[in-house]
Amino acid sequence: MPGVIVKICGLSTRPTLEATIAAGADMAGFVFFEKSPRHVALETAHALGQAAQGRIAKVALTVDADDAALDAIVAALAPDLLQLHGEETRERVAAVKARFRLPVIKAIGVADAADIARAAAYREVADTLLFDAKPAPNAAVPGGAGTVFDWELMRGYSGGDWMLSGGLDPANVAEALRLTGAPAVDVSSGVERERGVKDEAKIAAFVAAARGASV
């Protein structure tokens, strides 16, 4: 899978943003969800967005955010893409895309093949589908839990642009890419030293492992 796209998500500090850029990642993700340990305030997002401008694609991750919240986030970060990580309907995804005129990534929680089939409903309204491990029913946040789903479910997937997420780390990303042929990978907890705190060395190792697998 030549040229695999690498996204580092849940960034919240300037040093880890700089490490992400230095490692050669393609996308930097910023989480706007107060229940998440990776949540960034608008003021912080603005500063990080300014630092990232023109150097890496900026992704704003939200969870069932309303228009007012999205307006504020877009004004602060000036993202290149929007990632919808909640229970947004097909209609909501289309409305967000029309309102902001930005590419949209729609996250799909996966536990079995039926979840992948369900994703087809979003294909015409989302630019990219992100397949993540489905959270437990009582989970406080919809992602970033470090949980892996059965990658065999994605073998041979041909439903358009997509990303693989869920439990990836520097040690397993090459195998995940080999099994799935994913064109893009997304990591958050797998490059942390503790929950919500990114590790610069792990970021570099993850990008290197993904790039090595795509040669």
| Residues annotated catalytic, as ranges | 9, 132
Question: CA-CA distance, 211 to 155, in Å (whole number)?
Answer: 19
Which distant-in-sequence residues (6+ apart) come within 8 Å of 85 by Cβ? 33, 61, 62, 63, 107, 130, 132, 142, 143
Q: Which helix (H) or strand (E) holds 14?
A: helix 14-23
Residue 59, SS3 per DSSP: strand
Question: CA-CA distance, 66 to 15, in Å (whole number)?
Answer: 31
Question: CA-CA distance, 133 to 103, in Å (whole number)?
Answer: 22
Judged by phi (left if over 0) then psi (alpha if -120 to 50, else beta), residue 34 lies in alpha
